[in-house]
Structure 1
Amino acid sequence: MKQILHIIISLFVFGGVYAQKAQIEKADKKYEVFQFIEASKIYQKVAESGYESEELFKKLGDLYYFKSKYTEAEKWYEKLYKLNDKSLEDDYLLRYAQTLKVSGKKKKAAHLYNKFLKASGVLNNDFTSSEDYLKIIAENSNRYNTEPIPINLEGIDYGTFVYKEKIYFSSSRNLGKKKNIDAWSDRPFLDIYEVDYNKEKNSYGEPKLLKGEVNTKLHECSPVITKDGKTLYFTRNNTTPRIKEIKNKAVQLKIYRATKVNGKWDNIEDLSINGDNYSNAHPTLSPDEKVLYFVSNMSTSIGQTDLYAVEINNDGSLGKPRNLGAKINTKGRESFPFVTKDNELYFSSDGHFGLGGYDVFYIDLKKTGGQLLNVGEPINGAYDDYAFSINNHTKKGFFSSSRSKTDNIYSLKEIKPIKELLEAPFTGQIVDSETGKPISDAKITIESEDNILKFDVSTDENGFFETKLNKFKSHVATIKNKDYETTDVFLVKGKNVYEKDFKLVRNVFEIAKDSTTDLSKILKVKHIYFDFAKAVIKEEAKIELEKIVAAMEEYPDLKIDIRSHTDTRATEAHNMVLSIKRANATMEYLVKRGIDKSRLSVKGYGETQPLNLCNPCSEEEHAQNRRSEFIILQE
């Protein structure tokens, strides 16, 4: 059915040997104007005669693929793949993978999809293979109860828009009148119907054709009505061409706008965003009705059909359409957008990895860089699932599917929200590294690895914090407090719970009166070590002394007492003299660096205050005792 509704308008250049040229050219003409039945017979006859061509297999595969006859499509894509598996375009790797999924060949489908990811360059930071996708889909499954609704008939029934006590939908049913047959689908053309709907009793009336000038002998579908009930947007075959002489060209689709006059939909308007050389279809409105979302294959499309948005001005005129981008649109087909009252987008796609042909996907438009998710089973399955809509208040909605051999409408009830699957809790406590006391008002800045998501959270009076992360993205958490050194941590994606405590190192100190504080400890200055029996400042020591210089330059009232120590080798008298020499050598270095000598005092302690009581001592233990300290002096 989606050969009509998905607006796949892909015209292929077809070449062949001279003996087959006449038949192929004849088929091309039928193909280009969407007269599917006859064209496919001609192509198939040529192929079955033993003629092999990459373009021939592409066309046959596509003709069946876009008609959702995946078994037949698989046959021709398989021939195409065998003919050219090395340099096959990524579009066809994707389509072949989709047909294999429908036929249940999941392992081979995964292999082909992985090749597509690599060839197309769409392999992203969230997933690395089809197996990752399937795990996510499984996690999102079993969130809905579904059942077919009683208004379905043998023909095509799809798409729903609920307005007050009525449901509007599209159908190829024949209610007593003679209907034209579409050559592409070999079915009657679609019309828009309305049916009374009692939400409380979940009961339906008898469907009736929409009153007014909306329905014609061609296709009409995908209705959406404004909140005031005065304006209707819908899809129709191009009945208002702006270009003359369009014979033998495919009839495109357009989005039209109608107004309600005396209970009927009239005053049909061809929107400015439409064109004769491309199709627009499947309109839906933003919650504030200031943006129209739709599907198109206009020239700026990434794939075969993309989702677009356009601003609706106060006077009803439309702005310039903008493509929703590569996060949503693929080289495949995106279609059937629906936006909830909470500004969440649901749509169908065969370009993102799924369970069948078209799958329903979700993304929260409120979140910059939000994660795209497959809504899982039972909404999605082995066939085409599309035209999803839901009321976030009642948790009820509808979707359409070809799972029962033809396209029908199904009701749904959401029993578990999708938001729970997007996020994982991130909790912890921040304390002082030395005292273990909690740090209140510490700020944790969380930024996704792709630099798209960024937000802050603060600790409470007990140093605890709690927030949520998008678990499908890796993040960097940076912890700051004015009195402590900043630190950060990398949080790897894929976890259901993130728990992390932090011990911050203080970098602001209060110097109490009548206390002895070692400046080297505050500044994390390594001990100023000396070689055995020497008082020469070593090169590595100079780096540490520069911290003392910087501190004294920053705080001009600061005075320090330089205290030097030795190890226990040699005599006590020798060591006492040596320690004084080392203290003086340290002071001289600081003076040479511009520190006023009046701010410095020195004292040598020899071996009287060792840091360890080793006996005998290793060389490393001896070195620990050969040190200088910088004690802050109080006035």
Structure 2
Amino acid sequence: MKNLYIVLSFVAISSSIIAQNKDTKAADKLYNRYEYVSAAKEYQKLVDNGKADGYVYKQLADTYYNMFNTAEASTWYAKATETTQDAETYFRYAQMLKASGKYEEANKQMSKFAAMAPNDLRAKSFKENPNYVPKILSKEARYTVNSLPVSSDKSDFGAVMYDNILYFTSARNAARKDYGWNKEPFLDIYKATLGDSGTFSDATTVSELNSKYHDGPVTISTDGNTMYFSSDSFREGLFQKDKVNKLKLGKNNLYKATKNGETWSNITPLPFNSKEFSLSNPSLSRDGKTLYFSSNMPGSLGGVDIWKVAINGDSYGTPENLGNKVNTEGNESFPFIADDNSTLYFASSGKQGLGGYDIYQIDLSKGTDASNMGKPINTEKDDFSFTFNKAKNMGFLSSNRNGNDDIFSALPICAVDLLVHVTNAKTGEILSNAKVSILDEKKNIITTETSDTKGDVNFRVECDKPYTIQASKDGFEGNAFAVAKSKGPTATIDAALQPIDVIVTETEIVLKPIYFEFDKSNITQEGAFELDKLVQVMRNNDKLVIFAKSHTDSRGSDDYNLSLSDRRAKSTVQYIISKGIPAERISGKGFGETEPKVQCGPCTEEQYSLNRRSEFLIVK
């Protein structure tokens, strides 16, 4: 039923070379009246009686496409494409194959579509990235998705929560007349209340808003006093007459209502409603200044696009198309603008997805591309109408993944989007191409990335866990930065690195202590930061030859300390060589406790530390 709010009065009837004839007249009439269930039966009769051709197969496929019966649609598109068809038929065939999880077969049909419509944005995206599915499937899950008991055995979708009330659209009213599209009742607006126990009450109709036609979905202002909702244009007497099919064709239009006590009243149509095109699925920004909606009005890139219009009190600006970062030659619908007034969620059948309609998000303030939200938000079926209530930290979406349009909850998995910003500590200059690692609380490296042209690296980490960031770059002292426990959703670490300023005397290069773990000789990350300074000095002066001396304190036996210090000296040499310094320019040896810097006995901890050192002597 959500297809009604995506393509109502704009059912793209792609034309094939073989046209309708007197045998298809009855079926075509039902199809043109959007009575798809009955139309499918009539086209099937033609198949059974041996009167089918490419046109009949395509019409039968399109009929099932509009009802999102993927198996039947795929069967008949396969038959239709044995004859000459237009590009859109191959695209639809690919969509139905993807919705059945048949990605390889879908790609074959997309290749044909791309060859026939090379300038189509969908074709260009496919040719640029034909094997995009694994990337979507590899995305980290950000939500847990569960069915909500407010759903019925009829179409339920468009859920949005304000305060504790969940508004949604449903075809469950058995007392209503069936709609020919899918033989379900006309849509009404319903609401259910979220109780203290976390469960919803039984749904009831919002009777003052509902008409005898289709009504919903809705959006409500932050103060709860203004509502915008979709409804049939018959509500205001707007329709076109189809004399051939003896049909009055209405559109989806947008209406405004105001709160009066506990009910809604003063229902008024928006001034840009029309009988020529549809407008539906409104979403009001939290500041109340912008209304987003879907429409096939002139200026759309494809079938249905996402639009916006400025609101100034009771007046409205000129609707603006959101452009090709959001819209395609396919259909985009069900916009939802988040509380930050810049993050937009929407459904698309034209962008690269897993099948059917997928849900995408885009930051309108940055001009970046929209991104697929991945599983479990999206599936091979139709997934659409994502909304989010920040106060409740709870989202909702609609999907036919279980065979029927149902409402699902989407609860965020607690995670923190961590931004690391790397700069020069002295000048504030951005440092790109810096090596940035994130470590867990046991100092294990989780992953390592390189800072971008803005000096940024992004990590996604678990809530309520401490982490450490280690950043390094040639010419700068490496450093470690603590990341405190956080519940998110975001955190920022300013990783300011000091330019390397090493003390170089006539006889040695002076570094901070090169620390090793107790009784171990492997180079630690902290030690590596210091040794990188030595590497930088040796790169700047390719004549330098260094001898590394490693010393221990006097604790432990003489032989053990000598062996341990020698292993540490060799590890130090190997690290320097691994950074590209020729082996003939660096050598090392352990001296154990034989050359203490401070003569003591017994020694203090400070004296032990001074004796436990590395020295880097200049040989030449």
TM-score by length of 2: 0.64
1:269 matched to which residue of 2? 268
Distance 2:304 2:416 in 1: 26
Please, which of 221, 226, 231 is the counterpart of residue 226 of structure 2?
231
**Against the structure 1 CA distance between its residues 263 and 77, is the aligned structure 2 distance closer, same or farther, given a 3 Å change threshold?**
same
Shift of 1:41: 2.2
Matches within 5 A, 1:370-449: 370-392=368-390, 394-415=392-413, 440-442=427-429
Letter in 1 for 2:334: F
Tell me how large the CA RMSD over aligned residues is.
3.3
Distance 2:125 2:349 in 1: 20
1:209 matched to which residue of 2? 205
Letter in 2 for 1:40: A
Letter in 2 for 1:388: F
Partners of 1:32 and 1:249 within 8 A in 2: no
1:551 matched to which residue of 2? none
Shift of 1:391: 2.9
Partners of 1:3 and 1:184 within 8 A in 2: no
Letter in 2 for 1:277: E
Structure 1 alignment gaps of length 5 or more: 430-437, 447-463, 472-498, 504-635
Shift of 1:136: 2.9
Letter in 2 for 1:235: S
Matches within 5 A, 1:204-603: 204-212=200-208, 214-239=209-234, 240-242=236-238, 245=241, 248-314=247-313, 316-342=314-340, 343-367=342-366, 369-392=367-390, 394-415=392-413, 440-442=427-429, 467-468=455-456
Shift of 1:127: 8.0
The aligned length equals: 437
2:192 matched to which residue of 1? 195
**Against the structure 1 CA distance between its residues 136 and 17, is the aligned structure 2 distance closer, same or farther, given a 3 Å change threshold?**
closer
Please, which of 105, 110, 114 is the counterpart of residue 113 of structure 1?
110
What SS does structure 1 have at the residue aligned with 2:275? coil
Shift of 1:165: 1.7
Distance 1:45 1:442 in 2: 73
**Against the structure 1 CA distance between its residues 168 and 393, is the aligned structure 2 distance closer, same or farther, given a 3 Å change threshold?**
closer
**Residue 10, structure 1, aligned to residue 11, structure 2:** yes
> For residues 418-474 of structure 1, what are the alpha-carbon distances to aligned partners after superposition, in whole Å with 9 as ceiling and x for unaligned?
967xx8x68587xxxxxxxx973546799xxxxxxxxxxxxxxxxx99732799xxx
Distance 1:127 1:347 in 2: 23
2:564 matched to which residue of 1? none
Shift of 1:129: 2.1
Distance 1:292 1:62 in 2: 32
Letter in 2 for 1:97: A
Distance 2:266 2:133 in 1: 48
Distance 1:373 1:55 in 2: 36
**Against the structure 1 CA distance between its residues 442 and 13, is the aligned structure 2 distance closer, same or farther, given a 3 Å change threshold?**
closer
> For residues 555-583 of structure 1, what are the alpha-carbon distances to aligned partners after superposition, in whole Å with 9 as ceiling and x for unaligned?
xxxxxxxxxxxxxxxxxxxxxxxxxxxxx
1:449 matched to which residue of 2? none
Distance 1:42 1:349 in 2: 31
Identity %: 33
Deviates more, 1:105-114 or 1:221-230: 105-114
Distance 1:444 1:339 in 2: 34
Shift of 1:327: 1.6
Shift of 1:126: 11
Shift of 1:306: 0.9
Distance 2:144 2:75 in 1: 35
User: Which structure has the greater CA radius of gyration?
Assistant: 1
Deviates more, 1:148-157 or 1:331-340: 148-157
> For residues 482-501 of structure 1, what are the alpha-carbon distances to aligned partners after superposition, in whole Å with 9 as ceiling and x for unaligned?
xxxxxxxxxxxxxxxxx9x9
Shift of 1:234: 1.0
Partners of 1:141 and 1:378 within 8 A in 2: no
Shift of 1:300: 1.7
Partners of 2:227 and 2:256 within 8 A in 1: yes
Partners of 2:2 and 2:405 within 8 A in 1: no
Distance 2:152 2:51 in 1: 41
Partners of 1:385 and 1:402 within 8 A in 2: yes
**Against the structure 1 CA distance between its residues 83 and 312, is the aligned structure 2 distance closer, same or farther, given a 3 Å change threshold?**
same
Letter in 2 for 1:378: P
Structure 2 alignment gaps of length 5 or more: 434-451, 460-494, 500-620
> For residues 521-540 of structure 1, what are the alpha-carbon distances to aligned partners after superposition, in whole Å with 9 as ceiling and x for unaligned?
xxxxxxxxxxxxxxxxxxxx
Letter in 1 for 2:456: K
2:169 matched to which residue of 1? 170
1:137 matched to which residue of 2? 136
What SS does structure 1 have at the residue aligned with 2:182? coil
Partners of 1:155 and 1:406 within 8 A in 2: yes
Letter in 2 for 1:354: G
> For residues 97-156 of structure 1, what are the alpha-carbon distances to aligned partners after superposition, in whole Å with 9 as ceiling and x for unaligned?
11111222221113333444563432668982231x223312324221111112222222
Shift of 1:246: 5.8
